[in-house]
Structure 1
Amino acid sequence: MGVLAVEAFRAVDPVTFEESWSTANIGTITGGAYARAYLGSLQLSAVTAVLGAVLGLALAFAVARSRRGRLLRRLVLTASGVLANFGGIPLAFAFIATIGTAGVVTALLTGPLGLDGFSLYSTTGLAVVYLYFLVPLMVLTILPAIEALRPQWREASDVSGAGGWQYWRYVGGPVLAPPVLGATVLLFASAFAAYATAKALVGSSVPLVTLQIADSLSSNVVVGAENLGKALALGMVGLVGLVMVFYTWVQRRTSRWLS
């Protein structure tokens, strides 16, 4: 981070090749294709974080309320631990071989289910792939909070004559809100920082800041713009830092409620 903070403000004269301090790189990344890349990453991360939170929360509730109890919980947590860490190029290849243009499932379902209009190599397809590891991550994060809801709270609510909606409105909902919000923020940060899967799946066809950073550091760079990729990375670190500060604050409130 220290290197990024220094190098992002260095500029090279394209004629004399002399280095100087400048905010030109920071100004460049706030407009044009770079601004679209930031916006694309923010939109994709926000959508997948919300969808992953909703689906993961529903799955976690199903596991917590299941009659099979501990066995199902261990199975789901084990599977979630594996899937939440299964990403990068292997994940992209798995989806390409399954629902890609010539994938096995695509060949079977094209026509009957209208799969013709779906493209894996788009923002929508990338969102589907992201959900593959975001939903298990949500389950791992939120299940302990769900199981920390004390049965005595529900019993006291029933004795007081409150219905199910009132219990969740005044007791369960406020208690679960901080951990759910914190887990959603964690999903957002995870999706925002993802790179290898997007690179292998969509290349440069979808504007994402992680892909722009890779192009700036590895492709042919214009003279005088050598540190542009570092400025992009610094902006990304700043955004993720803000997200994680908010996540830490939410986690403190969560621990206070559930202690």
Structure 2
Amino acid sequence: MLAVEAFRATDPVTYQESWSTDSIVAVTDGAYRRAYLGSLQLSLTTAVIGAVLGLALAVAVLGARRGRLLRRLVLTASGVLANFGGIPLAFAFIATIGGQAGVLTVLLRDFGVGLGGFSLYSMSGLTVVYLYFLVPLMVLTIVPALEGLRPQWREASDNLGATGWQYWRYVGGPVLAPPVIGATMLLFASSFAAYATARALVGSSVPLVTLQIADALSSNVLVGSENLGKALALGMVALIGVVMVFYTWVQRRTQRWLQ
């Protein structure tokens, strides 16, 4: 439906529909291009940071001594937090560090400490909020891959005189690379498609393609702008499709290593 409707145009006077590429051309320039770039910037930043922090947390939990209870707690919490998003998440952050009345903001101010110019209602603020559910998602995704590293590989490496760096360089790293890349792509897709949290926090002050789609589909500006929204959505589907194709390829390589 998107592929068809994106190439339709509605006359603002007669309301007659016709075939046109105006919407496709429009989404590649101006504010719509900035929206795509803003979404890509936010998604890439949160995906990379979330992957690094999530991987570090997963390695620390699995490597902890007597960490069975800790691991269970972390995985349970990750399962909850990875699905905690939307308006409730935005409200939680607003109540905590939003503006001048946030609980943490007021507490820090009482101790003479500020947030250093940090604003929750900005691109950097969105990055912090998105990491709240992306880091747990990374933990859930990468733990099975870490568990797939067989102890026999490390023992064989040690018996052959390899150092810890050499083990990760030639054995552990190549095995973990596909799942880590795949998980990062999954974080990218989740961040790129997020809508409700950004709408509740920044409205239209930060250029994001999901917010532009909502404005266009509601026809707040021009008659027939819903076709423009569908063209924006089609571009978004195409980008996510490329990411998921790459993710599927990486997952196949991962399964071949871990079998």
One-letter code of the match for 2:199?
K
**Equivalent residues in 2 for 1:1-259, closer than 5 Å:** 3-101=1-99, 102-110=101-109, 112-259=112-259
Deviation at residue 224 of structure 1 after TM alignment: 4.1
The residue identity in structure 2 corresponding to 1:33 is A
Query: For 1:80-99, what per-residue CA distance to the aligned partner results, in whole angstroms no more than 9, with x for missing partners?
Result: 00000000000000000001
Q: Distance in 1 between matches of 2:112 and 2:210?
A: 37
Task: Give per-residue Cα distances to partners, 1:1-42, cap 9 Å, x unaligned.
Answer: xx1111111012233332111111000000000000000000
How far apart in 1 are the matches of 2:2 and 2:162?
55
Asked if the contact 2:214–2:229 (Cα under 8 Å) also holds between the matched residues in 1, the reply is yes
Superimposed CA distance per residue, residues 171-227 of structure 1 (whole angstroms, 9 cap, x where no aligned partner): 000000000000000000000000000000111110000000011112423134331
Greater mean deviation of Cα atoms: 216-225 or 4-13: 216-225
How far apart are the structure 2 equivalents of 1:197 and 1:239?
21
TM-align CA RMSD:
1.2
Give the C-alpha shift of residue 68 in structure 1.
2.0
Amino acid at match of 1:108: L
Cα distance in 1 for residues equivalent to 2:192 and 2:41: 9
Structure 1 unaligned segments of length 5 or more: list them. Answer: none
C-alpha distance in 2, partners of 1:72/1:116?
34
Shift in Å at residue 113 of structure 1? 3.8
Matched to 2:232, the amino acid is L
| Identity over aligned pairs, percent | 82
TM-aligned CA distance change 1:219 to 1:19, over 3 Å: closer
- Count of paired positions: 257
Shift of the 12–219 alpha-carbon distance from structure 1 to 2, 3 Å rule, reads closer
Secondary structure at the aligned position of 2:9 is classed as strand
CA contact (8 A) 2:217 2:225 kept: no
Take 1:81 and 1:70, find their aligned partners in 2: how far apart are those partners? 16
Are the equivalent residues in 1 in contact too, given 2:50–2:187 (CA < 8 A)? yes
Q: 1:115 is paired with a residue of what secondary structure?
A: coil
Q: AA paired with 2:208? A: L
**Counterpart amino acid of residue 123 in structure 1:** M
SS in 2 for 1:20: strand
What is the alpha-carbon distance in structure 2 between the residues aligned to residue 47 and residue 34 of structure 1? 20
Structure 2: runs of 5+ lacking an equivalent: none
* 1:105 counterpart SS class: helix
How far, CA to CA, are the matches of 1:59 and 1:199 in structure 2?
Answer: 29
Q: CA deviation at 1:109?
A: 1.5
The runs of at least 4 aligned residues of structure 1 exceeding 4 Å deviation read: none
Structure 1 residue 75: Cα displacement: 1.0
Looking at structure 1, the residues matched to 205 and 219 of structure 2 have their Cα atoms a distance apart, in angstroms, of 16
Q: TM-score, normalised by structure 2?
A: 0.96
Query: Residue 157 and residue 147 in structure 1: after superposition, are their counterparts in 2 closer, same or farther (change >3 A)?
Result: same
Deviations 1:55-92 (A, max 9, x none): 00000001110112322221111100000000000000
Q: TM-score, normalised by structure 1?
A: 0.96
